[in-house]
């Protein structure tokens, strides 16, 4: 049998030093793009800001580790993929590429690396053929045809994938998305780094990611330890070199006429002249990296989309105007467009400031701008606590009412929430229609109930009412008075973390559990509570309206603080001296309106809702039961709390 390489070639390649060619030079000469993993086709051309990060990976450069803190679609994947081709052709060795998930690793192998080796002539025949039944040669483990090394792909969650073999080349992609621990084995980055110990003299480690949250970001820690090379470009008018930043323009930055982001230009920090976007390519071509921490032996590079040839300054300005309407979209803008860290304001808002801005609208009435009515229910041992909340355009919201459902037995003691009588009162509350300030009535569209306590009672109640739909088309409800069984989960990336599968739901009378990302929801809510009203008296998106009088309610709203443990775990910690039900109910109401689809509403959707105001005769909610009268809603919990409703 013949092979492309003889034993003598393998031996010679092991003894001879690698060819004297840099990674960027090799890529320019050999890499062919096919469009499968990039919008570009044809011969690869290294952009100015990509050259230096690639060249420090060359064997001739003494560094052992490289850090790339980059915006999306700018630097990271291209550098890694080109380096993999360089390794195979110029200086082979055992290689490990780590992605956040196994699915990501497989996608990198199939969508980016396989086309590189298939369509770049110099790489054809460098990999042994993939055989699905051969565990030593699969899509996730590519062996070099001459036996001089391999490329293994794995997910950061897999301890076995991180600890199997000695590694010379280690590529750590999107490290900020790695789990805190690979199974029970500990930090995946540390586990992978241990694999490079046998190649201390000639190893190369790339750690790259878009940044995430200040204080939690792995790439931030690596960047801080690096020499922190920023890309400086010259002003075409005064030749002053500067980093292109996205700021308010007072000290340089992107500026545009009000309402016309497409006309964005860059204000030079020195001469203060405006630079049009068509000058950007000239500036970037003449740019250079300058280290801000030159004492470090680790090259570190940061680039944002402000220097991207594919994104105009006008596009970035327009994207910002949309992103700033939501905390999460603004966070994504800073991370993925500007390559900047997001600083979480984790401490609780000042409850006194929230209390002092309380309003004097009438409780129990849906305000004219309130278009969706929802409710959240917190289940306690002897009571149900319920908040009814109205949402309008821009997620502006009004707390319409707060109820404590507490039913006494014959002796006057509160019944446990395992008693059907308590849930009958909740049934009456859900069945009620609420009067609207603009006329007519409005039903509760969705009610979320936490399943953390008395879950079977929640399942039974939910099973008697319409259920929301969850699928590829998104979350939605099809009828008023939909009931959603929920469970909190510490997810800080999204509000609806996941929905239990239908198979598991069958065990609960076909009730699916909606897992709420409480970290995400609380951070968003606290950001909303901190909103400062503009001088023109308008209410910004997300503004929270309250009319309760008692200070304990506002203490409850602001009762938790966000902390980071020494292990890196993020937690929301309640003040044990304060009841936190108001905050929990705010989260549940936010989840309820999300299930109604508010996060995907367009301007046309809002306009249609605003045009369909209620026309039925106003009918106040029934006052039967122990939750009915405002003086009774707090039951035996203390008369002072009744002042919330006075």
- For the stretch 549-572, pLDDT in tens is 889 999 999 999 887 654 446 678
- For residue 255, being part of any structural domain is answered with no
Would the CA dihedral through 552, 396, 515, 319 be positive or negative? negative
Q: Do residues 31 and 121 both lie within one domain?
A: yes
Tell me whether residue 256 is in a domain. no
Taking Cα atoms as reference points, which of 448, 458, 412, 385 lies closest to residue 627? 385
Average pLDDT over residues 248-273: 86
- The CATH number assigned to the domain holding 420 equals 3.30.420
Report yes or no: 393 and 466 within 8 Å, Cβ to Cβ. Answer: no
Give the Cα separation of 147 and 170 in Å (integer). Answer: 19
CB-based contact 244:307 (threshold 8 Å): yes
Same domain for 571 and 446, yes or no, is: yes
Residues 392 and 502 in one domain: yes
201 and 127 fall within a common domain: yes
- Eight-state DSSP code of residue 208: E
Q: Give the pLDDT confidence score for residue 506 in this predicted structure.
A: 58
The pTM assigned to this predicted structure is 0.58
Measured distance CA(399)–CA(388) in Å, rounded: 6
Question: Cα separation of 528 and 228, whole Å?
Answer: 34
In the DSSP assignment, the letter for residue 634 is: T
CA-to-CA distance for 358 and 126, rounded, in angstroms? 70
pLDDT digits 0-9 by tens, 442-501: 999 999 999 999 999 999 999 999 999 876 666 778 899 999 999 998 877 789 888 888
Shared domain check, 358 and 221: no
Mean pLDDT over 127-150 rounds to 73
Pick the last residue of a domain from 303, 334, 362. Answer: 303
Confidence class for position 624, pLDDT limits 50, 70, 90: very low
Residues 471 and 566 in one domain: yes
**Which of 80-84, 197-201, 286-290, 513-517 bottoms out in mean pLDDT, i.e. has the lowest?**
197-201
Listed ranges 5-14, 256-265, 336-345; the one with the highest mean pLDDT: 256-265
**Triad 489, 556, 542: Cα angle to 5°:** 70
Residue 335 lies in a domain: no
Return the CA Rg of the chain.
Answer: 30
Reported in sequence order, the residue ranges of 88-221 that DSSP labels E, i.e. its strands, are 94-99, 141-143, 150-155, 169-173, 204-209
- Let me know whether 429 and 298 are in one domain: no
pLDDT at 625: 30
Is the per-residue pLDDT at 420 higher than 70? yes
Q: Cβ neighbours of residue 182 under 8 Å, at least 6 residues apart?
A: 156, 157, 158, 159, 162, 188, 191
Q: Give the pLDDT of residue 623.
A: 31
User: Same structural domain for residues 55 and 156?
Assistant: yes
- pLDDT computed for residue 598 by the predictor: 92
**Given pLDDT bands bounded at 50, 70 and 90, which one contains residue 18?**
confident
- Shared domain check, 490 and 396: yes
**Roughly how many angstroms between the first and final C-alpha of the chain, as a whole number?**
92
Q: How far apart are CA 117 and CA 153, in angstroms?
A: 15
**324 in a structural domain:** no
CATH code, 145? 3.40.50.300
What pLDDT does 492 receive?
73
d(CA 120, CA 154): 24
- Region 293-297: mean pLDDT is 91
Task: Please tell me the predicted confidence (pLDDT) of residue 571.
Answer: 79
Of 280, 303, 326, the last residue of a domain is: 303
Mean confidence (pLDDT) of the chain: 85
Higher pLDDT, 350 or 589: 589
| Percent of the chain with pLDDT strictly greater than 90 | 54
Query: Given this model, what pLDDT does residue 638 score?
Result: 29
Res. 293: pLDDT tops 80: yes
What CA–CA distances, in Å, run from 544 to 60, 112, 374, 613?
Answer: 59, 46, 15, 22
Same-domain status, 438 and 299: no
In a domain, 73, yes or no: yes
Is 392 part of any domain? yes
435 and 552, same domain (yes or no): yes
- How many domains does the structure of the chain reveal? 2
Residue written as token pair 């700018």: 74
The most distant pair of C-alpha atoms in the chain lies apart, rounded to whole Å, by: 96
Residue 535 is predicted with a pLDDT of 76
pLDDT class of 618 with cuts at 50, 70, 90: very low
Report if residue 266 sits inside a domain.
no
- Pair 378, 585: CB distance under 8 Å: yes
User: Domain limits at 181?
Assistant: 7-228+293-303
Interatomic CA distance for residues 482 and 478, integer angstroms: 8
User: Would residue 322 count as lying in a domain?
Assistant: no
Give yes or no: residues 297 and 357 share one domain.
no
Instruction: Look at residue 303 and tell me whether its pLDDT is greater than 80.
Output: yes
Give the model's pLDDT for residue 631. 30
Of 303, 327, 342, the position where a domain reaches its end is: 303
pLDDT of residue 356: 93
- The Cα angle at residue 374 between residues 368 and 378, in degrees rounded to 5: 140
pLDDT at 52 over 50: yes
Work out whether the CA dihedral 404, 409, 413, 418 comes out positive or negative: negative
């Amino acid at each position: 049998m013949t092979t492309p390489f003889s034993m003598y070639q393998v031996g010679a390649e092991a003894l001879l030093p690698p060819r004297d060619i840099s990674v960027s030079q090799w890529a320019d000469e050999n890499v062919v793009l096919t469009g499968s993993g990039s919008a570009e086709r044809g011969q690869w051309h290294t952009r100015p800001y990509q050259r230096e990060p690639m060249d420090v990976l060359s064997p001739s450069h003494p560094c052992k580790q490289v850090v790339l803190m980059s915006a999306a679609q700018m630097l990271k994947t291209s550098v890694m993929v080109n380096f993999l081709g360089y390794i195979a052709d110029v200086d082979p060795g055992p290689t490990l590429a780590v992605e956040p998930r196994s699915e990501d690793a497989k996608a990198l192998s199939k969508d980016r690396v396989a086309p590189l080796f298939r369509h770049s002539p110099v790489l054809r025949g460098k990999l042994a053929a993939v055989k699905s039944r051969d565990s030593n040669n699969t899509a996730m483990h590519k062996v070099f045809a001459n036996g001089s090394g391999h490329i293994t792909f794995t997910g950061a969650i897999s301890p076995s994938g991180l600890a199997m073999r000695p590694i010379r080349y280690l590529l750590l992609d999107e490290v900020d998305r790695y789990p805190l621990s690979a199974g029970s084995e500990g930090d995946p980055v540390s586990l992978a780094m241990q694999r490079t110990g046998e190649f201390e003299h000639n190893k190369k480690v790339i750690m790259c990611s878009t940044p995430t949250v200040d204080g939690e970001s792995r790439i931030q820690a690596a960047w801080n330890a690096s020499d922190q090379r920023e890309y400086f470009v010259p002003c075409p008018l005064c030749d002053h070199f500067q980093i292109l930043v996205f700021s308010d323009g007072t000290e340089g930055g992107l500026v545009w006429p009000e309402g016309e982001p497409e006309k964005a230009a860059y204000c030079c920090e020195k001469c203060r002249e405006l630079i049009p976007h068509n000058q950007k390519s000239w500036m970037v071509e003449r740019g250079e990296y300058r280290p801000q921490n030159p004492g470090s032996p680790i090259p570190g590079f940061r680039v944002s989309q402000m220097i991207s040839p594919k994104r105009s300054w006008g596009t970035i300005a327009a994207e910002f105007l949309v992103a700033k309407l939501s905390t999460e979209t603004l966070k994504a803008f800073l991370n993925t467009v500007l390559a900047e860290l997001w600083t979480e304001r984790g401490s609780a808002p000042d409850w006194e400031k929230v209390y002092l801005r309380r309003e004097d609208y009438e409780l129990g009435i849906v305000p004219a701008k309130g278009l969706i009515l929802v409710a959240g229910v917190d289940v306690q041992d002897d009571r149900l606590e319920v908040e009814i909340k109205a949402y309008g355009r821009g997620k502006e919201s009004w707390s319409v009412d707060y109820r404590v459902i507490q039913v006494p037995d014959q002796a006057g003691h509160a019944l446990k929430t395992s008693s059907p009588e308590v849930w009958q009162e909740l049934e009456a509350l859900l069945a009620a229609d609420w009067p609207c300030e603009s006329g007519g009535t409005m039903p509760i569209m969705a009610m979320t109930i936490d399943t953390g306590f008395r879950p079977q009672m929640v399942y039974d109640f939910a099973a008697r009412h319409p259920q929301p739909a969850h699928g590829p088309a998104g979350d939605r409800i099809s009828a008023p008075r939909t009931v959603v069984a929920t469970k909190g989960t510490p997810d800080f990336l999204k509000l609806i973390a996941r929905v239990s599968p239908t198979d598991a739901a069958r065990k609960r009378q076909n009730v699916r559990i909606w897992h709420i990302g409480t970290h995400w929801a609380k951070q968003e809510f606290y950001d909303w509570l901190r909103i400062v009203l503009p001088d023109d008296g308008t209410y910004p998106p997300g503004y929270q309206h309250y009319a309760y009088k008692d200070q304990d309610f506002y203490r409850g709203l602001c009762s938790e603080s966000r902390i980071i443990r020494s292990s890196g775990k993020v937690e929301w910690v309640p003040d044990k001296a304060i009841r936190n039900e108001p905050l929990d109910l705010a989260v549940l109401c936010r989840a309820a309106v999300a299930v109604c689809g508010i996060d995907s509403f367009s301007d046309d959707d809002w306009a249609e809702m605003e045009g369909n105001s209620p026309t039925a005769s106003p009918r106040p909610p029934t006052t039967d039961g122990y939750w009915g009268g405002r003086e009774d809603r707090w039951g035996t919990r203390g008369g002072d709390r009744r002042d919330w409703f006075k």
